[in-house]
Amino acid sequence: MKIGMNHGAGGAVMEKLIKDTILENISKTSVNGGVGLDALDDGATIPVGDYEIVVTTDGHTVNPLFFPGGDIGRIAAAGTINDVSMMGAKPLCITNAMIVAEGFDIDDMDRIMKSMDSTCKEADVAVVAGDTKVIESSKLDGIVIVTTGVGIAKKGEIIKDSTLEPGDKIIVTGSIGDHGMSLMSFREGFGFETDLKSDCAPMWGIVEKALKVGGVTAMKDPTRGGFANAINEMADKSGVGVILQNDAIPIKREVHAVSEMLGIDPFEVANEGKVVMGVKADKADEVLEAIKTDKYGKDAAIVGEVVEGEKVIIETGVGGQRILETPIADPVPRVC
């Protein structure tokens, strides 16, 4: 069997490749009893003394390199900062490895680096190491960037994606589907005519505010495979069900419009500046208020509740229900 685009598109097909071909061949997947590769969480943890170091890594192949609301430099920084943040750890630094095609414009690389820098600045993150390789233009489409992120948390304060508990409220920190839908509509040639922009942004500010209030039980960033993938993965790993209120889930009008035009479900496409959070019921309102004070959290909402069970169910309007399934793959390829 050969690799297909779906093998890198989040969702069930990619999960099978990771489990059967990647995890199956790695013998040691964790250090000092920390969260390891086999947990398939947003990052790994290495307990050291009174702290846990968080490590995560991401390859970025977004197409096009420059898009409304961001570029590969912003996404390479934010994506990695966010995976560290999702573990409840303060991001400290990233490394930056770039594989560049011969003939790539140095002015474009300059733009990409400036964008990476301004994104890191937002979260007070340093770029501490890097690598630059050049290969023949026939063998690569422009540039691929690989970033590794390192963060730190006090021991016992790590937040996983597998620890939702019945009774928890589910918070999303803003509108769903912006990144995937804006990228798709840009590629389809609707261009900059719509106001639709990627939400690509570092989430540490939001996470820090939520953690300060307390009661956060689980976190995940809904990237490839979108909200549908993230909430199903969280529910599945936690051994719980989730009931969502359709009307409570924030979706921009433009996202609805593009989604109908293209026949793509906004729940299944990537977000690059959102968090899905489980929060203890008695803290949920306070956490929501704290998130709303962040510039990236104004549209945050409580969208549902964790229950005993094993399905993610969306309640629609008057008494209607549907199961929200894990997507087979993100319908929009090369989003990050």
Among the candidate windows 80-88, 206-214, 228-236, 321-329, which touches Mg ion by CB under 5 A? 80-88
Give the separation between CA 77 and CA 96, rounded to whole angstroms.
Answer: 9
Q: Considering the complex, state which of residue 41 and residue 254 has its C-beta at the smaller distance from Mg ion.
A: 41
- What is the nearest approach in angstroms of Mg ion to the Cβ of residue 56? 8
Strand order in the sheet with 320-323: 216-220, 276-279, 169-172, 301-307, 241-245, 312-316, 320-323
Examine residue 330 and tell whether it contacts Mg ion (CB under 5 A). Answer: no
Q: Considering the complex, state which of residue 42 and residue 178 has its C-beta at the smaller distance from Mg ion.
A: 42
Q: Considering the complex, state which of residue 80 and residue 175 has its C-beta at the smaller distance from Mg ion.
A: 80
Among the candidate windows 2-10, 40-48, 207-215, 306-314, which touches Mg ion by CB under 5 A? 40-48
Examine residue 83 and tell whether it contacts Mg ion (CB under 5 A). Answer: yes
Give the separation between CA 109 and CA 161, rounded to whole angstroms.
Answer: 35
SS3 160: coil
Q: Considering the complex, state which of residue 168 and residue 272 has its C-beta at the smaller distance from Mg ion.
A: 272
Total of chain residues touching Mg ion, rule CB under 5 A:
3
Using CB under 5 A as the binding rule, the residues of this chain from 201 to 260 that contact Mg ion are 221
- What is the nearest approach in angstroms of Mg ion to the Cβ of residue 143? 22
Give the separation between CA 131 and CA 97, rounded to whole angstroms.
Answer: 4
- What is the nearest approach in angstroms of Mg ion to the Cβ of residue 86? 6
Count of beta carbons in the 10 Å neighbourhood of residue 119: 25
- Integer CA distances (angstroms), 265 to 28, 201, 235, in order: 38, 22, 20
Examine residue 41 and tell whether it contacts Mg ion (CB under 5 A). Answer: no
- What is the nearest approach in angstroms of Mg ion to the Cβ of residue 276? 10
Examine residue 161 and tell whether it contacts Mg ion (CB under 5 A). Answer: no
Spatial contact of 80 and 147, defined as CB atoms under 8 Å apart: yes
Q: Which amino acid is at 145?
A: I
- Integer CA distances (angstroms), 93 to 77, 83, 128, 148, in order: 10, 12, 6, 8
- What is the nearest approach in angstroms of Mg ion to the Cβ of residue 83? 5
Examine residue 305 and tell whether it contacts Mg ion (CB under 5 A). Answer: no
Examine residue 272 and tell whether it contacts Mg ion (CB under 5 A). Answer: no
Q: Which amino acid is at 13?
A: V
Using CB positions, name the residue nearest to Mg ion. 42
Of the residues 41, 42, 52, 71, which one makes contact with Mg ion according to CB under 5 A: 42
Among the candidate windows 77-85, 167-175, 208-216, 317-325, which touches Mg ion by CB under 5 A? 77-85
Q: Which distant-in-sequence residues (6+ apart) come within 8 Å of 179 by Cβ?
A: 69, 198, 199, 200, 269, 270, 271, 272, 273, 335, 336
- What is the nearest approach in angstroms of Mg ion to the Cβ of residue 245? 24
- What is the nearest approach in angstroms of Mg ion to the Cβ of residue 297? 18
Q: What are the tokens at 295?
A: 């510039």
Using CB under 5 A, list all residues that contact Mg ion: 42, 83, 221
